[in-house]
């Protein structure tokens, strides 16, 4: 069995050199591919990079045969190529090698080609939704899959979204191919949010990654519907930190009652503070969520009668655990939420307007401080 120079190196130079029984000469392209990679990095101007190699599966099978023939295991060719490439690229200087670098050089030995892939960028922020009527994520028309049909009046979607209001300016600024917003919970389409809900925007394959986040925030605010604060670049791991976190929230709800509500009724409503609710999945979301009973605590409840509100109207300030269905706490959802405001008053009660006014998410700031310290 004969091997090429590189495969032989991996096998302790135990074989004769010739037409390679492992790579059929493919590994010999390595040094030329490294030259290409260095030129690509320089042309791109990336400050950091990572590498990966693609090796034909047949090489690995033949490599094992070579090991068997000598009853000795050599270094795997994939290992050796990785080492050779990363050491040459380090020596070349310029961009710095980093596991989460700005781009990835893919050395594909099955094709003898090198490809420079732009790595995704992740932007943390908190969004405020000023206008009702936006869904959180893009909501494609299911009949036409976004192409536009009579069902969606040719728009391809049913709602404009917070995701687009944030993602489109980012796409324009960065030259990204796509974006996805990952958020910590969501508010209903008809609810607003002045608290600032944590999210991470995943920005796919951006052409530019060193854009100014302050300018970006102004571009987003120009829509008048969505505002973002606290923008910063974060590692990919923050997607999970944000989506897996659950925070207590404070709401301001405008309520319309079926009868007059005076001081006696207001006291009954306030008595729900500190109470544990049993909430069966609301009928309005039952088609997309498992039907189960949740336990959620009302941590704070204020009854306010604002100027201009008559005996049948009031404002409630409610602080509750993550995942509490506020509209159902008010209406009772035909007995599926217990206790409820409608239930204890013995009259109908309906939430006519809902705003998220507070999210207790300071925990995320401490996570980010930890990353900053680790990154130093
Ligand atoms: Zn070879
Ligand atoms: Zn449609």
The DSSP annotation for 222-247 comes to: TTSSEEEEEEEEE-TTHHHHHHT---
Under CATH, to which class is 249-359 assigned? alpha beta
As a whole number, mean pLDDT of residues 317-343 equals 96
Say how far apart CA 303 and CA 254 lie, in whole Å. Answer: 10
Please tell me the predicted confidence (pLDDT) of residue 376. 45
| Percentage of the chain modeled with pLDDT above 90 | 76
pLDDT averaged over every residue in the chain: 93
- 138 C-alpha vs ligand 2 centroid, how far in Å? 13
Which ligand approaches the C-alpha of residue 59 most closely? 1
Please tell me the predicted confidence (pLDDT) of residue 203. 96
Say how far apart CA 19 and CA 213 lie, in whole Å. Answer: 55
The matching CATH number, chosen from 3.40.50.720, 3.30.70.2510, 1.10.8.80, 3.40.640.10, for 121-245 is 3.30.70.2510
Say how far apart CA 81 and CA 207 lie, in whole Å. Answer: 28
Active site residue 361: no
- 77 C-alpha vs ligand 1 centroid, how far in Å? 8
Which ligand approaches the C-alpha of residue 26 most closely? 1
- 8 C-alpha vs ligand 1 centroid, how far in Å? 7
- 160 C-alpha vs ligand 2 centroid, how far in Å? 14
CATH of domain 2-117: 3.30.2300.10
Please tell me the predicted confidence (pLDDT) of residue 139. 85
Please tell me the predicted confidence (pLDDT) of residue 146. 87
Please tell me the predicted confidence (pLDDT) of residue 290. 86
Lowest mean pLDDT among 9-18, 179-188, 189-198: 9-18
pTM for the model stands at 0.82
Greater confidence, 86 or 93?
86
Lowest mean pLDDT among 177-181, 361-365, 370-374: 370-374
Q: Model confidence over 209-268: pLDDT tens digits?
A: 888 999 999 999 998 999 999 999 998 999 999 999 999 999 999 999 999 999 999 999
Backbone angles phi, psi at 300, to 5 degrees: -155, 140
Q: Model confidence over 133-166: pLDDT tens digits?
A: 999 999 888 889 889 999 888 989 988 999 999 9
14 CB-near residues (< 8 Å, 6+ apart): 8, 70, 72, 74
Lowest mean pLDDT among 162-166, 184-188, 193-197, 315-319: 184-188
Confidence at 100, pLDDT banded by 50, 70, 90: confident
> Would the CATH topology of 2-117 be identical to that of 121-245?
no
- 277 C-alpha vs ligand 2 centroid, how far in Å? 39
- Let me know: does 106 contact 114? Beta carbons within 8 Å: yes
Which ligand approaches the C-alpha of residue 23 most closely? 1
pLDDT surpassing 80 at residue 189: yes
| Percentage of the chain modeled with pLDDT above 70 | 99
Q: Model confidence over 271-303: pLDDT tens digits?
A: 999 999 999 999 888 888 888 999 999 999 999
DSSP element (H, E) containing 86:
helix 77-92
Which listed residue (44, 188, 219, 248) is catalytic?
A: 188
As a whole number, mean pLDDT of residues 338-349 equals 97
Q: Where are the domains of the chain?
A: 2-117, 121-245, 249-359
Please tell me the predicted confidence (pLDDT) of residue 72. 76
Q: What's the length of the chain?
A: 376
């Amino acid at each position: 069995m004969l091997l090429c120079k590189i495969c032989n190196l991996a096998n302790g130079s135990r074989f004769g050199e010739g037409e390679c029984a492992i790579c059929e000469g493919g590994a010999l392209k390595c040094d030329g591919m490294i030259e290409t990679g260095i030129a690509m990095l320089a042309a791109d101007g990336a400050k950091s990079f990572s590498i990966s190699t693609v090796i034909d599966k047949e090489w690995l099978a033949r490599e094992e045969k070579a090991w068997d023939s000598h009853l000795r295991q050599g270094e795997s060719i994939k290992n050796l190529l990785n080492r050779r490439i990363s050491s040459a690229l380090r020596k070349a200087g310029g961009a710095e090698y980093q596991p989460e670098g700005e781009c990835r050089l893919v050395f594909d030995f099955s094709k003898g080609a090198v490809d420079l892939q732009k790595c995704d960028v992740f932007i943390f922020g908190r969004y405020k939704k000023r206008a009702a009527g936006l869904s959180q994520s893009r909501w494609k028309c299911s009949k036409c899959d976004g192409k536009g049909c009579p069902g969606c009046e040719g728009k391809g979607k049913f709602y404009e979204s917070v995701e687009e209001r944030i993602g489109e300016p980012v796409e324009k600024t960065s030259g990204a191919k796509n974006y996805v917003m990952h958020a910590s919970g969501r508010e209903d389409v008809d609810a607003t949010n002045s608290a600032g809900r944590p999210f991470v925007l995943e920005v796919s394959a951006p052409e530019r990654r060193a854009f100014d986040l302050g300018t970006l925030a102004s571009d987003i605010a120009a829509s008048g519907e969505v505002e973002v604060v606290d923008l910063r670049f974060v590692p990919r791991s923050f997607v999970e930190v944000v989506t897996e976190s659950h925070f207590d929230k404070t709401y301001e709800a405008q309520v319309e009652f079926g009868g007059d509500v005076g001081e006696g009724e207001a006291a009954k409503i306030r008595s729900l503070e500190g109470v544990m609710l049993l909430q069966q999945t609301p009928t309005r979301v039952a088609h997309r969520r498992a039907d189960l009973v949740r336990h959620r605590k009302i941590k704070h409840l204020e009854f306010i009668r604002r100027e201009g509100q008559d005996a049948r109207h009031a404002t409630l300030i409610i602080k509750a655990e993550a995942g509490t269905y506020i509209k159902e706490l008010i209406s009772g959802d035909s007995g599926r939420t217990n206790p409820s405001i409608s239930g204890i008053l013995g009259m109908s009660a309906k939430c006519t307007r809902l705003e998220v006014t507070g999210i207790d998410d300071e925990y995320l700031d401490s996570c980010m401080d930890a990353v900053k310290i680790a990154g130093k």
